[in-house]
Structures are given as structure tokens and as C-alpha cells.
């Protein structure tokens, strides 16, 4: 049988029809954008870091200021002992508190107490006079990161806000080593807008920022938290003294304290120092006494009496009178021996 001529294709014994060929069409050219050098090229440039003034370069202030320098913040510093300020390589040094804060968007204070803060705020060379002279369009924010108590924070905050600056009370929880690593916890009081203005600096210094409410509430939270800490540390030190008097080896006691149900990072982190009886201060007995007094002040404001805090104050006062005030809080165990 003969096959018809046409659009067929022979495949072995069978004949299969062949689909008609479509006219060839040239593929559309697509424009491929040049390859980016990296996805970061597509991101907006980082926001510039605000200029910071830092006043108070004590045990906590110096590592905190150093942390800001390490992260690239423009930094100007002031300290009552000028030689301390000059050792902070990379920071410019203000001749006075007022000179230090010129041009700063965020002003951090880390001073001993409310009186020390008032001293740098006031006077012809103080912070408030300098801010008034500059007449800025954008109000700077003053962030006090020391523990001064709620009453003082509210009173000083009112004066600062009336002068044309913003104020945030942001006492920190943590000691020298967390300060150097940016691992503090800020307990913050202030208006939301003021806190957000301070946020770049707070985030640089702290692993967590807890906004407790309006001005003064950061201090209230810190005083309450320090009350818990005082209970822990005094109980730890007194029981360490009792355990050794009972014939238990110091290393065995510390193993139990730092691995048992009541272990906390504060105990664990100081185990080796405590084993060596090294009481070099990270948070001194004298400061613990000051903070305990602020706790009693807050109790009075709240019409509350907590006898256990007064008992702790009595022991701290005795330890300070025995010459232990500049040592670490754990040195109170010496008082119990």
C-alpha cells in the first residue's frame, strides 16, 4: 500500500502525522540590570550616631564611655578629676560641665548621687546654663544613669524640662564587666519621645531597656530591684560565714551556692573571686548602703514599712564603720566573722 504524500513521518511500521511547523519567532530580549556589588548597596545608609556628652567617669562611667567610643559615637567627656578624663583615648575633654555638653544631642550623667547631679546642672559653667546659651532648635536629652531615687529624679526632671532640655531617668542594673560589654539593663522613666531620642545610646550600652513609665519610675524600679539584690547578697555572705564556722570548706560552700537551686549570675560570676577572698569592688558596700537608704525613702513615699530593709541597713552601717565601705558588697561577710 502506498502512502499519501503530505505531512507524515515514517517511524518503523507505522506512519504518524507530523504537527505543522510554527513560524520561528525571535525571542524577546530582556534587559538584565547590572549585578549589584552586594545587597547592602540597596539599603539606605546608616543613620549617623548622635554626638554624646558623658559626665562622670567613675567605676561604671569609664567603661560605659569606652563602650560608646568603641562603637563610633562622637564623644566629649567631663570628670571632676580631670586627669581621669584625659586617659580616655579618642574622646575630647570638656573644661567644665557646660563646655562638655556644647553641641551634644544626648547628655549622659553617671555621678555619685542627686547632689552631684545638681552640682553639674547648676551654676554659670553648668549644663543648664550652657543649653540656655545655645538656643537650639532641637532640644537635647539628658539621661541620668545613676541611682538617685525617685524623689530627686522628679524634682530635677522638672527643672531640666523647664530649662528647655528633655530628661530621662535611666539607672542601670549591672556592674563593671557588663558595662564594658554593653550588657547592662536600663530601667527607664520619661516621656516616650524623650526615651526614643535617647534610644541609640541606651541600646549601645544595654542589652535591654525597660520603660517603666514617666519621670521617676525608672528610679522606683531600680530602688526596688536593688532591695532584692541587697537581700540576696547579705544573705549569701552571712550564710557563707556561717557555713565556714560550721566546718564546711569554702570551695564546697561556693559549689553549692553557685550550682544549687538558688544560684544566680551574680554568685556564679564571682565564684573565683570569692574563693580567693578577693573583695575588689565592683559594687561597693558604701553604695549598697546609699541605695538601701533610698529604698527606705521610697517606702516612706508609699506609706509602707519593711523592717527587713532596716535590718540590712544596720548591718551595712556597721560594716562601713569597720572600714569595709570601699570593698565589694560581698565583703560584708567579714562583718559576720
Write down which residue in 182, 215, 248 finishes a domain: 215
Query: What pLDDT, on a 0 to 100 scale, did the predictor assign at position 31?
Result: 55
- Which of the pair, 99 or 30, is modelled with greater confidence? 99
Q: What's the confidence (pLDDT) of residue 3?
A: 46
pLDDT tens digits, one per residue of 163-207: 999 999 999 999 999 999 999 999 999 999 999 999 999 999 999
Q: What is the mean pLDDT of residues 110-116?
A: 97
Does the pLDDT of residue 137 top 80, yes or no? no
The pLDDT of residue 277: 96
In the annotation, is 135 catalytic? no
Inform me whether the pLDDT recorded for 248 exceeds 50.
yes
Whether residues 182 and 230 fall in one domain: no
pLDDT band at 117 (very low <50, low <70, confident <90, very high): very high
pLDDT exceeds cutoff 60 at 328: yes
Work out the pLDDT band at 162, boundaries 50, 70, 90.
Answer: very high
Torsion sign across C-alpha atoms 280, 54, 97, 74: positive
What letter would DSSP give residue 322?
I
Banded pLDDT at 266 (limits 50, 70, 90) = confident
| pLDDT tens per residue across span 11-21 | 444 445 555 55
User: Could you read off the pLDDT of 24-60 as tens digits, one per residue?
Assistant: 555 555 555 554 445 555 666 677 899 999 999 999 9
Same domain, 119 and 159: yes
CATH number at 329 reads 1.10.1040.10
Same domain, 201 and 230: no
Give the Cα separation of 206 and 267 in Å (integer): 21
User: 158 vs 66, 116, 168, 257, 335, CA distance in Å?
Assistant: 30, 17, 11, 45, 41
- For residue 298, which phi and psi values (nearest 5 degrees)? -65, -40
State mean pLDDT over 309-335.
Answer: 97
User: What is the domain extent for residue 144?
Assistant: 52-215
In this structure, are 63 and 201 located in the same domain? yes
Which letter, b or e, does each residue of 233-256 get, where b requires 16 or more Cβ atoms within 10 Å of its Cβ?
bbebbeebbebbeeeeeeeebbee
The residue with cell 571632676 is 80
pLDDT at 48: 86
Could you say which of 195, 215, 235 is where a domain stops? 215
Structure confidence at residue 267 as a pLDDT band (50, 70, 90):
confident
**Percent of residues, the chain, with pLDDT higher than 90:** 81
- In this structure, is the dihedral angle defined by the CA atoms of residues 194, 199, 205 and 210, taken in order, positive or negative? positive
Boundary of a domain, candidates 215, 239, 258: 215
The percentage of residues in the chain with a pLDDT greater than 70, rounded to a whole number, is 86
Q: All 3 cell numbers of residue 61?
A: 562611667
Q: Which of 208, 222, 270, 273 is flagged as catalytic? A: 222
Within a domain: 239: yes
Shared domain check, 200 and 281: no
| Bridge partners, residue 142, by sequence | 107, 167
For residues 123 and 271, membership in a common domain is answered with no
Q: Residue 202 sits in a domain of what CATH number?
A: 3.40.50.720
Q: What is the Cα–Cα distance from 291 to 224, expressed in whole angstroms?
A: 10
Instruction: Report the alpha-carbon distance of residue 308 to residue 313 in Å, rounded.
Output: 9
Query: Higher-confidence residue: 9 or 302?
Result: 302
Residue 36 falls within a domain, yes or no? no
Q: Please give the mean pLDDT across all residues of the chain.
A: 90
C-alpha cell at 262: 538558688
Contact 31, 147 (CB under 8 A): no
pLDDT, greater one: 44 or 214: 214
pLDDT at 4 over 50: no
Instruction: Please give the angle made by the CA atoms of 141, 146 and 150, to the nearest 5 degrees.
Output: 85
CA nearest 62: which of 88, 80, 81? Answer: 88
* Count of structural domains within the chain: 2
Classify residue 189: in a domain, yes or no. yes
pLDDT above 90: residue 285: yes
The average pLDDT across 96-122 equals: 98
Amino acid at each position: 500500500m502506498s502512502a499519501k504524500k503530505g505531512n507524515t513521518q515514517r517511524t518503523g511500521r507505522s506512519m504518524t502525522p507530523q504537527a505543522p511547523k510554527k513560524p520561528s519567532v525571535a525571542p524577546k530580549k530582556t534587559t538584565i540590570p547590572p549585578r549589584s556589588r552586594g545587597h547592602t548597596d540597596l539599603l539606605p545608609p546608616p543613620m549617623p550616631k548622635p554626638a554624646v556628652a558623658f559626665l562622670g567617669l567613675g567605676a561604671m562611667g569609664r567603661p560605659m564611655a569606652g563602650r560608646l567610643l568603641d562603637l563610633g559615637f562622637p564623644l566629649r567627656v567631663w570628670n571632676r578629676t580631670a586627669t581621669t578624663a584625659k586617659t580616655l583615648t579618642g574622646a575630647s575633654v570638656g573644661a567644665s560641665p557646660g563646655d562638655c555638653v556644647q553641641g551634644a544631642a544626648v547628655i549622659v550623667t553617671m555621678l555619685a548621687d542627686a547632689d552631684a547631679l545638681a552640682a553639674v546642672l547648676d551654676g554659670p559653667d553648668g549644663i543648664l546654663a550652657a543649653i540656655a546659651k545655645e538656643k537650639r532648635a532641637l532640644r537635647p536629652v539628658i539621661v541620668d544613669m545613676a541611682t538617685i531615687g525617685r524623689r530627686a529624679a522628679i524634682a530635677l526632671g522638672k527643672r531640666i524640662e523647664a530649662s528647655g532640655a528633655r530628661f530621662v531617668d535611666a539607672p542601670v542594673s549591672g556592674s563593671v564587666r557588663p558595662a564594658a560589654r554593653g550588657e547592662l539593663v536600663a530601667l527607664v522613666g520619661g516621656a516616650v519621645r524623650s526615651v526614643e531620642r535617647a534610644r541609640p545610646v541606651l541600646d549601645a550600652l544595654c542589652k535591654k531597656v525597660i520603660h517603666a513609665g514617666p519621670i521617676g519610675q525608672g528610679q522606683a524600679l531600680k530602688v526596688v530591684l536593688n532591695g532584692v539584690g541587697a537581700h540576696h547578697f547579705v544573705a549569701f555572705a552571712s550564710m557563707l560565714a556561717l557555713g565556714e564556722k560550721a566546718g564546711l570548706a569554702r570551695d564546697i560552700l561556693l559549689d553549692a551556692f553557685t550550682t544549687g537551686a538558688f544560684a544566680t549570675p551574680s554568685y556564679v560570676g564571682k565564684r573565683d573571686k570569692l574563693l580567693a577572698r578577693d573583695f575588689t569592688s565592683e559594687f561597693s558596700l558604701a553604695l549598697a548602703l546609699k541605695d538601701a537608704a533610698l529604698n527606705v525613702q521610697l517606702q516612706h513615699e508609699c506609706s509602707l514599712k519593711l523592717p527587713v530593709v532596716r535590718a540590712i541597713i544596720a548591718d551595712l552601717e556597721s560594716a562601713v564603720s569597720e572600714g569595709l565601705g570601699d570593698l565589694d558588697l560581698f565583703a560584708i561577710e567579714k562583718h559576720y566573722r
